[in-house]
Amino acid sequence: MDKPVNITPPALAPLSKRFLNFFIDTAILCSMLTLGLSLLGDYLSKTYHFDGLVIGPPAFGNIKYTLAGTAITIAYYGLFETLLSRTPGKFITDTRVVMSDGSKPGNNVILIRTLCRQIPLQALSFFFIPPMGFHDMLSKTLVVDNYAFEQAKQKNDAAHKSADEL
């Protein structure tokens, strides 16, 4: 296991990058996947009379569409953050998810983080303790800027190396 890294506020991803992550991952990609599933369901219903995936249009009050979107969001974030500690949005903004000590989050932590994203009005939590949301606080994770995080790791390694030499 890596030595713990002291993550200071400059290493945290700024609110602008966090918003861009949300916009790319949730507002664009998860929405497109949900809409694609809806269109696939309609196509299968009309072409093959298979109604198992019919969820209807993205309309207010369409519970099937809302549940499909929730399931896709959970699968999307769960898979990307478990396997890579990054989503496509985080790749674009050069950020990643880490534990508060700088280590890679485990599967259970990512599950908690992913499920906490479903808290109603979760996005508003960024206005209280920026740049952290409820899903960060409850899972004890941080989203860091990769460049700043790597510099913090290098400082940490240098400090441990000089302490080991004494």
- Is the residue at 42 inside a domain? yes
pLDDT mean across residues, the chain: 92
Q: Which residues contact 106 (CB under 8 A, 6 or more apart)?
A: none
- What is the domain count for the chain? 1
Mean pLDDT of 92-98: 98
- Is the residue at 4 inside a domain? no
**pLDDT value at position 165?**
64
- Is the residue at 92 inside a domain? yes
- Is the residue at 3 inside a domain? no
| Domain encompassing residue 159 | 12-120+128-165
- Is the residue at 2 inside a domain? no
What's the rounded Cα separation, in Å, for the pair 123 and 135?
9
Mean pLDDT of 99-122: 95
Entry pTM: 0.91
- Is the residue at 7 inside a domain? no
What's the rounded Cα separation, in Å, for the pair 33 and 25?
10
- Is the residue at 27 inside a domain? yes
- Is the residue at 102 inside a domain? yes
